[in-house]
Amino acid sequence: GQQVMQIPQYQHVQEGEDFTTYCNSSTTLSNIQWYKQRPGGHPVFLIQLVKSGEVKKQKRLTFQFGEAKKNSSLHITATQTTDVGTYFCAGHNFNKFYFGSGTKLNVKP
Amino acid sequence: AAGVIQSPRHLIKEKRETATLKCYPIPRHDTVYWYQQGPGQDPQFLISFYEKMQSDKGSIPDRFSAQQFSDYHSELNMSSLELGDSALYFCASSDEGSPLHFGNGTRLTVT
């Protein structure tokens, strides 16, 4: 079946350092979505990428969708303590969502 | 704006008991999803409904069942509870493949 792999599982950074998480799907996706889940909270939608090679930015966050629409990355520049949480990618095909295992980000002040 | 409402927020049950979780999706969203999230894990898809009909089934145990009612709210029924069923249960809704809107979840503890 379809799978979405996400790495790394954990990332500990010093405040101000950059952070990147990567997702790779076993099959081509219609789109990919990114969610952030704060400790004790529920996943919250961040962004959706639809086009091959698409790049979107949200302040310090940069999202990329690969040319083959099978991989994606989220890059955070100059992390802040408010970035702490788990970041999930979710591949979307035929009204089904395939979640990556998530990357738990810890930011040390 | 209205969000996805789940109840209860917390539930404590004993082994072999039953539990019912409720979800009220965002109005006019056509699809409801149920997810189970264990500690430190990603959300695992259980089941979904499109326009009140079951549309997809994931890793939902036979002891669990779900339905969506005429008013679009959904219920997840869990019977013969086991310790391993302790988890956060999220309901999410979407409209024609739009991003998922998650509820706050129900934390189920089975003792």
- 3-state SS, A56-89, equals EEECCEEEEECCCCCEEEEEECCCCHHHCEEEEE
Q: Which pLDDT tens digit goes with each residue over B3-51? A: 999 999 999 999 999 999 999 999 989 899 999 999 888 889 999 999 8
Residue with tokens 């952070």: A19
Report the distance separating Cα A17 and Cα B73, nearest Å. 44
Per-10-residue mean pLDDT, chain A, length 109: 88 97 95 94 94 97 97 98 96 86 95
Report the distance separating Cα A80 and Cα A15, nearest Å. 5
The contacts of residue A59 (CB under 8 Å, 6+ apart) are: none
Nearest to A106 by CA among A45, A43, A59, A38: A38
Interchain CB distance below 8 Å, A101 and B42: yes
Q: Is the pLDDT of residue B68 over 70?
A: yes
Position A1 scores a pLDDT of 65
Task: Reply yes or no: is the peptide bond before residue B8 cis, omega within 30 of 0.
Answer: yes
Position A57 scores a pLDDT of 97
Which residues of chain A does B56 touch, with a Cβ-Cβ cutoff of 8 Å?
95-96
Position B95 scores a pLDDT of 87
Q: Which pLDDT tens digit goes with each residue over B70-98? A: 999 999 999 999 999 999 999 999 987 68
Interchain CB distance below 8 Å, B97 and A95: yes
Of B55, B99, B105, the CB nearest to A33: B99
Q: Is the pLDDT of residue B1 over 80?
A: no
